[in-house]
């Protein structure tokens, strides 16, 4: 009789895996978002509002609100119907707010969940805790998974889909051994998990094939019995495909990988087995690994003959594995290695370019197929251990150590944009993408001149793509080279008139140079091009407000809030308009809404304090001015308003300090120079008051308060 295993020992494996995953990936959580990750962080206007979640189930992954695109039939820009993926970013926003670097912790948690689910599934399939732990260790450490864990868009989709695929598979496995009611509940759970996997990423559609092979070969059930059990899954798959068609008007993405576009039909057909062989090499020997851009071109030595040869080898290998699996099923022999090999190629089906796919090859696409690889390695490790107990650690430890070192090296590269994009540029010197991506990172880091040089280098490689041209114009704008930026935006818009960000930024520049009519037209075009982003509405409303057309401006502000119900900038500007219109209670409500959304919003605190001061609530106003300064020490209006309040109650020294801070931030603020003159005069420092008055006169010689300040200075100097 076996001694029962102590419950504490059963937790050692999962705890060790959790510590391993956290140690291997946790230090990368604060790395800056790169590439498409910016779409789901800084450029995703809906992630903060839970009210947007239902929209994702009736739209493709384009962040557009439902009902904005009036077209005669469903249409999709990207061919990505992943509502659960889109909804997951609301979890990030709830957990981490706007600290986008930490959004990766959700990915790390999903990777751990997938690892633990594989541990449980492998325990059933391999009938050995040791083999299951070996499989889970390989999965946790596999270098191919670094990209999936790091990327918030493409990687998150893989992680979510695999978590629910493994949950469904785990519930399906061994279900026949349960009582009828428990079996029914597990089948329902398995089918429900399948739907969640499909809503995460479309590659989960291979799950019924996985479960069929599992039930027919591994559990040795009849094909008819397995198909009967799969009826709920097949119904869900049919319903999902119908819904996908209704939402998007197509089943797959609208574009093919650029590397395959110029190939003839035969060449493209020959490329499919070649790419599958490429994936097989990466899964079996993940050394070396490279940035994503390095996989987007076929090697120069590719030829249709090599593709046909690869196809013959792969078809032959699959046929042999299927034949051996069927024989093993009939004879009761070992079947796991043959089924695992079949499952690997089944899982690769969605990325085999049988339908259009914009990405040629990606490491993250192997996240699901690697489950089969890990099961095979776990099985092999158990066989080694049974033959000689020392063989498993002798072979396994070097493999795990090599995987851990390679994963660490990949994580280092993925965490450092300079390393990542420099490596990508070396392998793709004819591709402007890596150089443009490096420029984007430099621009976001405040290194604008370096960013401009990178964008110009990207344009020199290929002057056609709009992205580098837009980024160059944006860099010129931020460097203050206004006219060059205007010309750059206009040149871009001649080729890409629907570029909403370029239209909006052009409108901002035209406003600055005084061409209000042209600016208005640019903002209107920007909003028509992309109604999901409210910035053009806010800019257009500001023009109308400056012209005294307050009702029209208010309508635009409220339209912007409809587009983005959590928009703080729209609330702030609308609050200022309402203040100017004498509707102060409504303005205060808006400021308090902003503070409920973003408790440390400096300008909302400052404006709320202004209203409190006007009501005579001086103590509350000063408290909020100080809170605004604590939230943003460079909030010049808060420093100025606090200084004015302090001066009015006789604290000239405190007022002087805050006036000077305000002027350090905004040295051209005439009101702050005048306030400083009064505070210095109140301290008896006539010379300093005169200097402040002189600075104010240089900026605005006709300022009404300037004459009063000079009169006060003269009066104080009189004998």
Residue ranges of domains in the chain = 11-412
63: left (phi over 0), alpha (psi -120 to 50) or beta: left
CB 168 within 8 A of CB 183: no
pLDDT attached to residue 63: 57
Q: DSSP 3-state assignment of 264?
A: coil
Task: Give the integer Cα–Cα distance in Å for 693 and 691.
Answer: 5
Running along the chain, 719 residues long, what does each successive block of 10 average in pLDDT?
A: 52 90 93 84 73 82 46 54 92 86 93 97 91 95 96 94 97 74 84 96 96 94 92 96 89 84 92 95 92 92 95 95 94 91 95 89 96 96 88 90 96 92 89 89 90 95 92 96 96 93 95 93 90 86 91 92 84 93 94 88 94 93 94 93 93 93 93 92 90 90 84 76
608, 650, 614, 648: which is closest to 626 by C-alpha?
608
718, 715, 719, 711: which is closest to 693 by C-alpha?
711
**Preceding omega of 288 cis (within 30 degrees of 0):** yes
Q: What is the DSSP letter of 64?
A: P
pLDDT attached to residue 66: 37
Task: Give the integer Cα–Cα distance in Å for 541 and 574.
Answer: 9
pLDDT attached to residue 503: 95
Q: What is the DSSP letter of 131?
A: H
pLDDT attached to residue 71: 37
Q: How many residues does the chain have?
A: 719
Q: How deeply is 36 buried, as exposed, middle or buried, from its count of CB atoms within 10 A (0-12, 13-18, 19+)?
A: middle
Q: What angle do helix axes 180-200 and 83-96 make, rounded to 10 degrees?
A: 80
Q: Which positions ≥6 away from 585 have C-beta within 8 Å? A: none
Q: What is the DSSP letter of 175?
A: G
Task: Give the integer Cα–Cα distance in Å for 303 and 305.
Answer: 5
Q: Which positions ≥6 away from 458 have C-beta within 8 Å? A: 432, 433, 435, 436, 439, 465, 468
Q: What sign does the CA torsion over 605, 609, 610, 615 have?
A: positive
pLDDT attached to residue 4: 47
Task: Give the integer Cα–Cα distance in Å for 448 and 236.
Answer: 51
pLDDT attached to residue 69: 37
Task: Give the integer Cα–Cα distance in Å for 614 and 623.
Answer: 14
CA distances from 236 to 158, 187, 350, 355 (A): 20, 13, 18, 21
Q: How many helices (H) and strands (E) does the chain have?
A: 35, 0
pLDDT attached to residue 283: 93
pLDDT attached to residue 177: 60
Q: Which positions ≥6 away from 582 have C-beta within 8 Å? A: none
Q: DSSP 3-state assignment of 237?
A: helix
Q: What is the pTM of this model?
A: 0.78
């Amino acid at each position: 009789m076996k001694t029962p295993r102590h419950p504490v020992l059963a937790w050692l494996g999962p705890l060790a895996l959790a510590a391993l995953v956290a140690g291997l990936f946790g230090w990368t959580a604060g790395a800056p978002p790169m590439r498409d990750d910016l779409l789901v962080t800084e450029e995703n206007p809906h992630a903060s509002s839970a009210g947007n979640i239902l929209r994702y189930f009736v739209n493709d992954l384009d962040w557009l609100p439902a009902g904005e695109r009036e077209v005669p039939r469903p249409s999709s820009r990207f061919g990505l119907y992943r509502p659960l993926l889109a909804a997951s970013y609301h979890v990030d926003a709830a957990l981490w707010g706007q600290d986008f670097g930490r959004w990766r912790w959700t990915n790390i948690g999903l990777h751990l969940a997938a690892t633990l689910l594989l541990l449980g599934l492998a325990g059933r399939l391999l009938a050995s805790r040791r083999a299951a732990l070996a499989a889970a260790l390989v999965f946790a450490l596999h270098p191919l998974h670094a990209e999936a864990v790091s990327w918030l868009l493409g990687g998150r989709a893989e992680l979510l889909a695999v978590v629910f695929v493994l949950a469904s598979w785990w519930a399906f496995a061994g279900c026949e051994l349960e009582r009828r009611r428990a079996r029914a509940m597990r089948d329902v759970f398995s089918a429900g998990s399948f739907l969640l996997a499909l809503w995460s990423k479309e590659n989960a559609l291979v799950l019924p094939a996985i479960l069929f092979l599992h039930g027919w070969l591994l559990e040795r059930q009849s094909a008819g019995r397995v198909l009967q059990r799969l009826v709920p899954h097949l119904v869900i798959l049919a319903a999902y495909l119908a819904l996908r068609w209704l939402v998007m008007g197509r089943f797959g993405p609208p574009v093919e990988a650029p590397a395959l576009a110029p190939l003839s039909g035969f060449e493209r057909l020959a490329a499919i087995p070649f790419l599958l062989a490429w994936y097989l090499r990466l899964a079996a020997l993940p050394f070396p690994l490279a940035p994503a851009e390095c996989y987007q071109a076929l090697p120069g030595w590719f030829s249709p003959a090599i593709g046909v040869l690869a196809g013959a080898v792969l078809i032959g290998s699959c046929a042999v594995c299927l034949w051996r699996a069927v024989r093993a099923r009939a004879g009761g022999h070992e079947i796991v290695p043959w089924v695992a090999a079949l499952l690997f190629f089944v899982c690769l089906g969605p990325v085999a370019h049988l339908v259009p796919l914009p990405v040629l090859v990606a490491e993250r696409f192997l996240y699901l197929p690697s489950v089969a690889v890990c099961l095979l390695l776990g099985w092999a490790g158990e066989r080694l251990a049974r033959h000689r107990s020392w063989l498993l650690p002798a072979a396994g430890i070097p493999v795990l150590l090599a995987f851990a070192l390679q994963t660490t090296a990949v994580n280092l590269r993925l965490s450092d944009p300079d390393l990542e994009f420099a490596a990508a540029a070396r392998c793709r010197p004819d591709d402007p993408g890596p150089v443009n991506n490096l420029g984007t990172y430099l621009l976001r880091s405040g290194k604008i001149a370096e960013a401009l040089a990178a964008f110009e280098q990207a344009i020199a490689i290929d002057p056609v793509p709009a992205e580098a041209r837009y980024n160059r114009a944006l860099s010129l704008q931020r460097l203050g080279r206004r006219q060059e930026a205007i010309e750059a935006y206009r040149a871009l818009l001649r080729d890409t008139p629907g570029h909403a960000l370029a239209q909006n930024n052009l409108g901002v520049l035209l406003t600055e140079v005084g061409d209000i009519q042209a600016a208005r037209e640019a903002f209107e075009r920007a909003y028509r091009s992309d109604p999901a982003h409210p910035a053009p509405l806010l800019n257009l409303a500001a023009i109308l407000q400056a012209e005294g057309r307050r009702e029209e401006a208010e309508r635009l502000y409220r339209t912007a809030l409809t587009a983005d119900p959590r928009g703080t900038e729209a609330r702030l500007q609308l609050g200022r308009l309402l203040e100017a219109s004498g509707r102060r209670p409504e303005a205060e409500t808006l400021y308090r809404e902003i503070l409920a959304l973003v408790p440390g919003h400096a300008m909302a605190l400052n404006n709320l304090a202004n209203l409190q001061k006007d009501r005579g609530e001086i103590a509350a106003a000063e408290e909020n001015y100080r809170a605004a300064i604590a939230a943003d020490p460079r909030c010049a209006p808060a420093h100025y308003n606090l200084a004015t309040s302090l001066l009015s109650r006789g604290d000239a020294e405190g007022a002087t300090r805050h006036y000077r801070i305000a002027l350090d931030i905004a040295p051209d603020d005439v009101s702050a120079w005048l306030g400083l003159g009064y505070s210095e005069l109140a301290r008896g420092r006539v010379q300093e008051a005169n200097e402040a008055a002189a600075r104010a006169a240089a900026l605005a010689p006709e300022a009404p308060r300037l004459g009063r300040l000079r009169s006060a200075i003269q009066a104080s100097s009189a004998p």
